[in-house]
Amino acid sequence: MPGVIGLIDGSLFPIKAPSGPTEPAYVCRKGYHAINVQAIGDQNMVIRHLLAKWPGSTHDSFIFNTSDINAYLSEGRGSGWLLGDSGYPLKPYLMTPVMNEQTEAESRYNVAHKRCRSRQERLYGIWKGRWRCHDMSGGYLQYSPERAVMFVKATAVLHNICRIANLPDPEDVPAMVEDEEEGHDGIHDGAQTGRTARNNLIAHYFR
């Protein structure tokens, strides 16, 4: 997949139920309390951008649309595109899968897209496998959301240190099953220019 500058995905980091009126906002679509963490990783599964502050019920597309990385890329300051699942908005700098593919070229594009994006799922698996406090199989953080976010950011830094130092990955890495949110292909501002960019990519590299 040419031109990829990063792989983007959101992942739910479980926490205890917070007190106060904001508690319902932290209940994620899977039914437990969580923080929805957005990370952008590279081909070596090093985290290059992290956004950890939103309650678990927040949609991935909202997190991206309100992020500084979206503002940065929308100004034309990038030289390629991110890859995200269909829960993200299609933009000239964010390529998503083709929904309801119609041609062999679109099918080949989707296969390549998913194969690349699987490294981001693996990144989350390694991250949560090394620090089980971020995975439901190891319980969850018994702190306020604000303090839990500090743990998320700290372990993200430690994850990068481990990756850059080529330390062995955890042996028992949790399987990060792809769980895409509702698609947004073509139903938002800027989708047409995004679709044009994606069509050009498919025409040049996947026919």
Under a CB-based contact definition with an 8 Å cutoff, are residues 202 and 109 in contact?
A: yes
Cα 189 from Cα 89, distance rounded (Å)? 9
**pLDDT tens digits for range 75-112:** 988 789 999 999 999 999 999 999 999 999 999 999 99
Cα 102 from Cα 199, distance rounded (Å)? 12
For position 178, what pLDDT does the model report?
A: 57
Q: What are phi and psi of 53, to 5 degrees?
A: -165, -15
**pLDDT tens digits for range 44-85:** 999 999 999 999 999 999 999 999 999 999 998 878 999 999
The reply to whether the predicted model has a pTM over 0.95 is no
**pLDDT tens digits for range 21-37:** 999 999 999 999 999 99
Per-domain residue ranges for the chain?
Answer: 4-205
